[in-house]
Amino acid sequence: MTISNQRWIWAAIAACWLFFLLETGTDIWFGSQFPGYDWKKESLSYMGQAGSPIEGWVTAWGVGFSLLLLLFSVGFYKTFKQHQWVSVATAMIVVYGLGEGIGSGLFPINPPGTPMTADGFLHNLFSGIGDAAIVLLPLVLMGVFPKKTYAAFRKYLWSVVGIGLLMASFFLIAKYFAPDNFILHFKGVWQRLYILNYHSMLVFLSLLMKRFINH
């Protein structure tokens, strides 16, 4: 591996870890700056709604979110470019980064109880596309990493699929049906566990990349 590629990969690994830490840190900080916000019951998008006191900060982080994942995607591709399906997997990381980052950040949701606007529609559209990409990513990664060589990692990817679908189901039930139920009432909790599941997968990918730097 060339020195140039090694630098790209180290930069991508650093971007992934920074992304993970900042996503957690901004969630905590944004919630502290939004009066009355209850992270257990409210989604992340709620903090960046139109008219929010931190709308500008949420938009700024959306741009940072995208840039860090774009950098990570370059290093990921350079590490595994000889593998099958790596182009598709890289594209999915890019789509997730753009959809849930810049796409969601530039177009805030509408405040609860107000009519849907173009911004709210575009927020849901870009967020939905980004979510679809990250949900499908572990399945595509199974094509990148053959079972014979990466048996343990593929088992982990199956656990990501299962946990992701379960958390997404809880979140959607809580969001659209709002049952008076101790478990399903807290959509903010389920959304954050859903995100943690997939973002942890990206961190594990970065650790896997580290093994190939000196090859």
Where do the domains of the chain lie? Answer: 3-210
The per-residue pLDDT for 18 is 97
Structure confidence at residue 40 (pLDDT): 87
- CA distances from residue 117 to 44, 171, 194 in whole angstroms, order as listed: 19, 23, 27
pLDDT at 211: 82
CA-CA-CA-CA dihedral for 172, 37, 34, 191, to nearest 10: -30
pLDDT tens, N- to C-terminus, the chain (215 residues): 566 678 889 999 999 999 999 999 999 999 999 999 999 888 898 898 888 999 999 999 999 999 999 999 999 999 998 888 999 999 999 999 999 999 999 999 888 888 889 999 999 999 999 999 999 999 999 999 988 889 999 999 999 999 999 998 888 887 777 666 656 678 888 899 999 999 999 999 999 998 877 65
- Rounded CA-CA distance 15/177 in Å is 37
How is residue 156 written in tokens?
Answer: 């982990």
| pLDDT at 111 (0 to 100) | 86
**What region, left, alpha or beta, does residue 82 occupy, with left being phi > 0 and alpha being psi -120 to 50 degrees?**
alpha
User: d(Cα 106, Cα 114) in Å, to the nearest integer?
Assistant: 19
Predicted model pTM: 0.92
Q: In this structure, are residues 50 and 111 in contact, taking their beta carbons and an 8 Å threshold?
A: yes
